[in-house]
Amino acid sequence: MKKFFSLILLIIIVVGMIYTIHQIPFGKNQSKIGKYFVANGKDETGAANIVTSVVVGYRSFDTLGEVTVLFLAAIGLGAILTTTKKQNHDIEKASLILNTGCRFLFPLVLLFSAYIFIHGHLSPGGGFQGGAVVASGFLLIYLACPGKRINKVGNTISESVGGLIFIILGAIGLFVGDRYFLANFLPKGELNTLFSAGIIPIIYIALGFKVGSELNSVIDKMMEES
Amino acid sequence: MDFLYNYIYYIGAFGLILIGLYILLVKHNLIKMIIGLSILETGVNLFIITLGYLDNGTAPIFSKENLESNMMVDPVPQALVLTAIVIGLAVLALALSLAIRLYDSFKTLNLKKIKEQKW
Amino acid sequence: MAKSSVKNESSVKNFLYLFIFMMLIWLALTSSLHWQELIVGCVVSIVITFFLNSNYQPLGLPSLNLIKIFYIFIYLIVLFIEIVKANFDVAYRVLHPKMPIKPGVVIIKTSLRQDIAKLILANSITLTPGTFTLDIKKDKLLIHWIYVRSENIEDSTKLIGARFEKYLGKIFS
Amino acid sequence: MTILIVFAIIIVLGMFFSFLRMLIGPTASDRAVAVDTITTTTVALLVLLAFIFERYVYLDVSLVYALLAFVGLVALARYLERGI
Amino acid sequence: MGIVGMIITGIGVLFLLLGNFGILRLPDVYNRIQAGTKCTTFGAFFTIVGIGILEPNWFWKCLLIAAFVLITNPISSHAIARASKIIGVLLCDKSVIDKTEEFKNEKGV
Amino acid sequence: MIIVITLLVLMMLASAITACIMKDLISAVIAACVVSLIAAVLFFLLHAPDVAMAEASIGAALVTAVFIIAIKRTKRHEE
Amino acid sequence: MKEITYINPVLLIAVPLALAFIIPILKFVWEKSIKWIPVAGFLFDLIVSITLIPIVLQKNIIVKIGGTTTPFSINLVVGPAGLLLSIMISLAGFLVAIYALKYIQEGDKTKYHILFMLLLTGAIGVVLTGDIFNLFVFFEVLCISSYALVGYLGNRAGIESSIKYLIQGSIGSSLLLVGIGLIYGQYGTLNMADLAAQIKTADSISLFVPMFFMITGLGIEAAIFPLNSWLPDAHSSAPSSISAVLSGIAIEVGLYAMMRILFTIFAAESFMGFLLFLGVITLLIGEMSAFSQNNIKRMLAYSSIGQIGLIVFAFSIATASGLSGGFFQMISHTLNKALLFLATGFMIYRTGSMEISSFRGLGKKMPLTALFFTIGTFSIIGLPPFVGFASKFLIFKAALAKQELLFIILIAVIILTTVIEGAYFFRIIQTLYFKESDDKSSKQESAITALIPMFIFALLILILGIYPNWIMKFIHSAASELLNKMSYLRSVLG
């Protein structure tokens, strides 16, 4: 019975959406604000990657909210999992090959993540992707070497400081130049060089640290045993 | 072929959305439902990205000389989806932690068998 | 006192190895020699090396010299030839209508000591014809062989591992 | 250029074989092996596509892809051998 | 240069197809891993390097990606194979020898 | 190119359905991982490399790992 | 004209966020100060919001963030309606934070304070923003912190209800996102005012579908009738201070977002008749279910559903006076429900049980708490001279002004529900005062930090009940801002 009703509901949704889709032809549709960003984005923000200039420039307030959401997830996970029973069982150790391989790859992964979030304004990537790569590097170590854990204090500090840098940079914008929150007050530099686009690379580096340590603490809390 | 070109991404996105919703509405196992949630989110993201596509377009990155702005795909949906993916991850992690707690307290993941609270 | 100075020297050496390695990877990643990229690459490499140097020491990186680099090249060529052979081998087995396979699990021995040498040996075995590493314990490797030619340890070792160990032993001496 | 697109189609056909193994594979290990192969194949596909689109910057994606599929598979393997 | 690159890419693509076909055709997990590690690694390596030759500016990055695949793929295959050995996935009936028990009695890591 | 896209979409939908019907949760998670992996390729084909990167790193690796950890701490089979 | 200087309203969001990010570091340095951080943050917000009132009454404040001209970057629109809600949120946040100084003893207190702060910051973001995707993001902040807070105590009921809430809430937010996508695909913009300028009528189906998705998504958070099965569980199993905020703020914020979308973007007049019925059904269902409860927190939660139904009814009248009634009812509901939950929290804390029957004789043991509780119940039923009477009276007046038979019937139904409400609340009051307690232990009043916020809430209820005209001007301008689409457009787009 329940299946039947859900199927009917789904069919209604499909019909509605198909009807609406006819208004939005595929591949012909460049929206008004999209056009504006593509045409003016590189001059106004100095970033070669327009997606970055939208994420950290025009719509940076969204990004602030998004970082908050991630922060909340880490905190909420900790609050929920604090009182779980800890299980105790013997763990099969990782084989030597996996262990050595992961330890060999770990610096590489970190270097690569640094590349991703430093070059966020020039090539695809940025704080979130870089942070995710950092977290997966640490995940690799957790998986391959059971018992190794990250320094929690350092992790918390990098998490908080990353967020604070974002907000403080935003607040500086209130007092210089055009006087609005998250204004890009630093010089724009030359397009397609590393030191360009004003505050965007700085924010992305802060975000990389913050996202990396948040995802890291999420994984760490979920894997916590003993 | 024309039909396929115009609608294949929409078919994929709606397919994912529907499968995700179906899992969420019909299944009772909590982890299964969370898998459904992740599929649903992937579908929504694919849908939003599809909205910004432009025929013969290219990515909105001015990394080389001969790129013009009128052949670039819309950057805004990409920015939105970037946000949505991270939010989805946050919800997923929270849901899974709740699932772990649920299993600790009730020794089951089947939501039908849990009747602590009633109307 | 002397001991600590030796240790210092080796740690400095390790630092340099890791730093150069990171820098090379960075250069390949950016594919550019712009001064800004170089500066940032140096900074990032130094930071990563500073934090991870102590973790890297147990891997037993060899102390390099010219002869070893030469052997590394030879090793790479041997490996490449073996990989090409391996592919035609697998292609033959897959495409043959009767699938001529005689799989089995055998044990071989190795004389290598360092972890990273064992890793390279195991990876090479995995990439070469008909064999891959299932497990490793001290000096014994458990090998899955798609067409078993020999069942005792010594012969298997000769057939599977010896051709790599010859060079690896020289590199990691 | 056409021949490259043919290459891409061949690669996707290859992925399809592994995908069938992912669907029918009797044990979880079979599926994991199939996913491993799919990801390696996809890395090649992404590089090929980057060449077809003539964008250098797209190469980063395939690097991330190669790395992260590895992480997921290691997690899976460690679960199967009861390691985490 | 263009033709060389094209041929190398073509060889790579062919082997990718073969490797994936092997995954489908071979009888048990271990034999599948044989196909999966060799053909796909080789195929991916050649495809990527072939692209690098076609566009010389891309060469170093392509080489990096290829090297990365070359390092990680054997490790992950090894991890999966070891896991399936530990949980006791059986060898197929064509197998002639199994020394796992003997290996289990070995000591050390 | 359209053939590539169609095959990919079909594979993605098929693995989503597999994730729906599998009783073994690990298999379902593997299937969901494949959905994410193929979705990343589709994002790439739609010229959204940023999103493809995020989907590959977050959707395929971290989510799979987090799911596996959660299954490890609960129960593998659906009842 | 001389430019008036004011504090930038973006600080209303940025400062609490920064404070929340500082808390984890503060844990290592000076742990005792953590619980005062939310108090300070919301005091700041309250003061800033109040200083903005005279400016906002003249014209809306448009705050640019990180961009250039209006439709291309995100902006905050601080109008009377948004400011009114933001004042309510920071007031409730401030008082509940004071209450929580003593009340929160279990679990990880640091994390509680962070989650609490971010919950209300998300709410402020939702009411102030002028961009639909930004609304979605802050909505997620609000939702995720409430999921975590409902499961915060870690008992069986809390975990179960948190899971239900999470699953339904995430379906809702996915639907909201699909709706936003459809809107963006058709109109190519995300700014609310720009959208409103392009959308003339909501008649075509291609517009109705995204509207349906967005309303369903927001309706789950606002707990409108078919979508409210999560609410009683979630609100009754959270800690009492959180229940107060969830009941008093979270669902109202969801409702406000929904009304903002309906009135400003879509201008969907024809949809209002449908909502009218939904509101009355929600009201009926909520009050009837509340009548049969023995658990006091569940009873209060169901009563919240009923009140939400009443507010939806008031908004759906879609006249200026109806909207004023809706806003006034929002204020009164926030004050009443917060007061009731706060008083109940300490009553449960002392007796150790949520059953109504175990509250016998508490009127003598905890005279002040019981007195505040009584004030709250009288106000929520709608007895003069409390604020509940004024707001309900306003709604009735607005409905009667329509002069249609339908409205008269609906009003009769609402009066019936008021009687039901009265019946179950008087049952509690009877239990409190006129039944003898079993044990004869001495007086055990609530902690002083709990009594102060309760006292302030009670005082506000009384003052606003006697002199509703003090805020009437503000409420009227809020209502006209929400109703008058053109003036909103003009203020944003210039």
Residue A99 CB contacts under 8 Å (≥ 6 apart), including other chains: A144, A145, C115
Q: Mean pLDDT over residues A143-153, rounded?
A: 80
> Is residue D11 over pLDDT 50?
yes
- pLDDT confidence bin for F14, thresholds 50/70/90: very high
Q: Please give the average per-residue pLDDT across B69-95, as a whole number.
A: 88
Interface size, chain A vs chain F, as Cβ–Cβ contacts under 8 Å: 44
G59: CB partners within 8 A, 6+ apart? G491
pLDDT for res B116? 63
In terms of C-beta density within 10 A (0-12 exposed, 13-18 middle, 19 or more buried), how is residue G5 classed?
A: exposed
Tell me: pLDDT of A69 over 50. Answer: yes
Triad B86, B91, B93: Cα angle to 5°: 95
pLDDT of residue D62 exceeding 60, the answer is: yes
pLDDT value at residue C161: 75
As beta bridge partners, residue C108 has C141
Report which DSSP code applies to G226: G
d(CA G142, CA B89): 16
> Could you tell me the sign of the dihedral formed by the alpha carbons of E73, E76, E80, E83, in that order?
positive
Please confirm whether the linkage preceding G385 is cis (ω < 30° from 0).
yes
SS (H, E, C) chain E: CHHHHHHHHHHHHHHHHHHHHHHHHCCCHHHHHHHHHHHHHHHHHHHHHHHHHHCHHHHHHHHHHHHHHHHHHHHHHHHHHHHHHHCCCCCCCCCCEECHHHHHCCCCC
CB B75, CB A200: distance < 8 Å: no
Of A124, A126, A219, the CB nearest to F66: A219
**Degrees to nearest 5, angle at CA G320 with G314 and G321:** 60
Q: Which amino acid is at G85?
A: L
Q: How far, in Å, CA of G122 to CA of G250, rounded?
A: 10
Give the closest residue to F54 by CA, choosing from A215, G206, C77: A215
Per the CB < 8 A criterion, the answer to whether G337 and G307 are in contact is yes
DSSP secondary structure, G447-460, as one string: PHHHHHHHHHHHHH
Residues in CB range of G279: below 8 A, 6 or more apart: G224, G309, G310, G311, G312, G313, G314, G315, G316
Neighbouring subunits of D (3+ Cβ pairs under 8 A): A, B, E, F
Number of domains in chain G: 1
The whole-number pLDDT of residue C3 equals 45
- Which of A142-156, B73-87, G319-333 is predicted least confidently? A142-156
Are C and A close enough to touch, i.e. 3+ CB pairs under 8 angstroms? yes
Residue G132 or G228, more confident? G132
E81 CA: distance to closest CA in chain A (Å): 11
| Amino acid at the residue G166 | L
Q: How far apart are CA A205 and CA A166, in angstroms?
A: 10
Measured between beta carbons, which residues in chain A are less than 8 angstroms from residue C40?
Answer: 118, 194
Residues in chain A within 8 Å Cβ distance of D82: 91-92
Question: What are the residues whose beta carbons fall under 8 Å from the beta carbon of G371, sequence distance 6 or more?
Answer: none
Q: Within an 8 Å CB–CB cutoff, is residue E50 touching chain D? A: no
Q: Do A108 and C25 touch (CB under 8 A)?
A: yes
Structure tokens that stand for G253 in this block: 């914020």
Question: Domain tally for chain B?
Answer: 1
Cα C91 from Cα G122, distance rounded (Å): 59
G75-78 vs G61-64, strand pairing mode: antiparallel
CA distance G471 to G267: 27
Cα dihedral: C35, C40, C41, C46 (round 10): 130
Is B65 within a domain?
Answer: yes
Indicate whether G25 pLDDT > 70. Answer: yes
For G71, the enclosing helix (H) or strand (E) is none
**Residue A194: per-residue pLDDT:** 78
pLDDT (tens digit per residue) in G87-138 = 999 999 999 888 888 887 777 788 888 888 999 999 999 998 888 899 999 9
- Residues of chain G found within 8 Å of residue A168, distances taken between Cβ atoms: 18
Model confidence over C20-62: pLDDT tens digits? 888 888 888 888 888 888 888 898 888 888 887 776 655 555 5
Residue G411 pLDDT class (50, 70, 90 cuts): confident
Q: What is the DSSP string of A134-190?
A: HHHHHHHHHHHSTT----HHHHHHHHHHHHHHHHHHHHHTTTSTT--BT---S----
Chain B positions in Cβ-Cβ contact with residue G147 (cut-off 8 Å): 94, 98
Helix, strand, coil shares of chain B, percent, nearest 5, are 70, 5, 25
- What is the CATH classification number for the domain harbouring B16? 1.10.287.3510
- Distance CA(B45)–CA(G478), nearest Å, equals 36
Q: How far apart, in whole angstroms, are the C-alpha atoms of residue D43 and residue D66? A: 6
Q: Which of G46-50, G296-300, G331-335, G402-406 has the lowest mean pLDDT?
A: G402-406
Give, for C133, the enclosing helix (H) or strand (E). strand C131-137
Tokens of B18: 């529907």
**Mean per-residue pLDDT over chain F, rounded:** 88
Q: Is residue E77 within 8 Å of E17, Cβ to Cβ?
A: no
- Name every residue in B having a CB less than 8 A away from some CB of D: 58-59, 61, 63-64
Chain B residue nearest residue D56, CA to CA: B63
Contact at 8 Å (CB) between F19 and B22? no
| Averaged pLDDT for residues A69-82 | 86
**Interatomic CA distance for residues G123 and G141, integer angstroms:** 8
* Residue B118 placed within a domain: no
CA distance linking residue A213 with residue A218, whole number of Å: 9
The confidence score (pLDDT) of residue F9 equals 92
What are the distances in angstroms from CA G70 to CA A41, A91, C14, C50, C123?
A: 15, 58, 56, 47, 58
pLDDT over 90 percentage in chain G:
3
Taking the Cβ of residue A125 and every Cβ of chain F, the question of whether any pair is shorter than 8 Å is answered with yes
Q: Which domains does chain E have, with CATH numbers?
A: 2-104 (1.10.287)
Radius of gyration for the alpha carbons in chain G, expressed in angstroms and rounded? 22
The reported pLDDT for the residue numbered B68 is 78
Higher pLDDT, G200 or D62: D62
In a domain, G215, yes or no: yes
Q: Which of C141-150, D50-59, G325-334 has the lowest mean pLDDT?
A: C141-150
For the stretch F29-40, pLDDT in tens is: 989 988 998 999
> Helix, strand, or coil here: G444?
coil
How does pLDDT run across G165-185, given as a tens digit for each residue?
Answer: 898 899 899 989 988 988 888
pLDDT attached to residue A225: 58
Q: What is the mean pLDDT of chain C?
A: 79
Give all strands (DSSP E) within F19-65, no chain letters: none
Q: Is A195 on the interface with C (CB under 8 A)?
A: yes
Q: Nearest-CA neighbor of E19 among G296, D21, G465, G53?
A: D21
CA distance G386 to G324: 17
Query: What is the tally of structural domains in chain D?
Result: 1
Q: Domain for residue B83, yes or no? A: yes
pLDDT by position in tens, chain E (length 109): 788 888 888 888 888 888 888 888 888 888 888 887 888 888 888 888 888 888 888 888 888 888 888 888 888 888 888 888 888 877 777 777 777 777 777 766 5
pLDDT band at D67 (very low <50, low <70, confident <90, very high): confident
Please tell me the predicted confidence (pLDDT) of residue B43: 92
For β-strands C104-109 and C140-145, DSSP reports them as: antiparallel
* Amino acid type, G276: L
Does G4 reside within a domain?
A: no
Touch G-E: 3+ C-beta pairs under 8 A = no
CB count, 10 Å around CB of A8? 10
Q: Which helix (H) or strand (E) holds G272?
A: helix G272-291
Looking at every residue in chain G, the average pLDDT score rounds to 85
pLDDT digits (tens, 9 = 90+) for G422-479: 888 888 888 888 877 766 666 677 778 888 888 998 998 888 888 888 888 888 888 8
- pLDDT, residue F10, reads 92
Query: Do the bridges between strand G75-78 and strand C140-145 make them parallel or antiparallel, or are there none, so unpaired?
Result: unpaired
Q: A162 in contact with B at a CB cutoff of 8 Å? A: no
Q: Given CB atoms, is A6 within the 8 Å cutoff of chain G?
A: no
CA dihedral E80, E86, E88, E94 (to 10 degrees): 60
Task: Tell me the pLDDT band of G293, cut-offs 50, 70 and 90.
Answer: confident
Q: Classify residue C38 as exposed, middle or buried by CB count within 10 Å of its CB (0-12, 13-18, 19+).
A: middle
* 3-class DSSP state of C108: strand
Let me know: does G230 contact G166? Beta carbons within 8 Å: no
Mark yes or no for CB contact D67/A133 under 8 Å. yes
* Closest Cβ–Cβ partner in A97, A110, A111 for C119: A97
More confident position, G360 or G282: G282
Q: Given this model, what pLDDT does residue G443 score?
A: 66
**Percentage with pLDDT > 70 across chain G:** 97
Which chain G positions have a beta carbon within 8 Å of B41's beta carbon?
174
Say if the Cβ atoms of A222 and F61 lie within 8 Å.
Answer: no
Host domain of residue D17: 2-80
Question: Does residue G383 have a pLDDT over 50?
Answer: yes
CA distance G240 to G350: 13
Strands E97-98 and C104-109: parallel
Mean pLDDT in residue range A72-90: 75
Give residue G203's pLDDT band: very low, low, confident or very high (50, 70, 90).
low
The answer to whether the CB atoms of D57 and B61 lie below 8 A apart is yes
**Residue A226's pLDDT is what?**
40
Token representation of residue G220: 């789950």
Q: What is the pLDDT of residue B36?
A: 92
Neighbours of chain C (3+ CB pairs under 8 A): A, E
Using a 10 angstrom Cβ sphere, with 0-12 exposed, 13-18 middle and 19 or more buried, the burial of residue G439 is exposed
- Give residue G7's region: left, alpha or beta (phi > 0; psi -120 to 50): beta
| Cα distances (angstroms) measured from residue A25 to each of A19, A33, B3, F49, G191 | 12, 18, 12, 22, 22
Residue A86 has pLDDT above 80, yes or no: no
Range among A34-43, G29-38, G42-51 rated most confident: G42-51
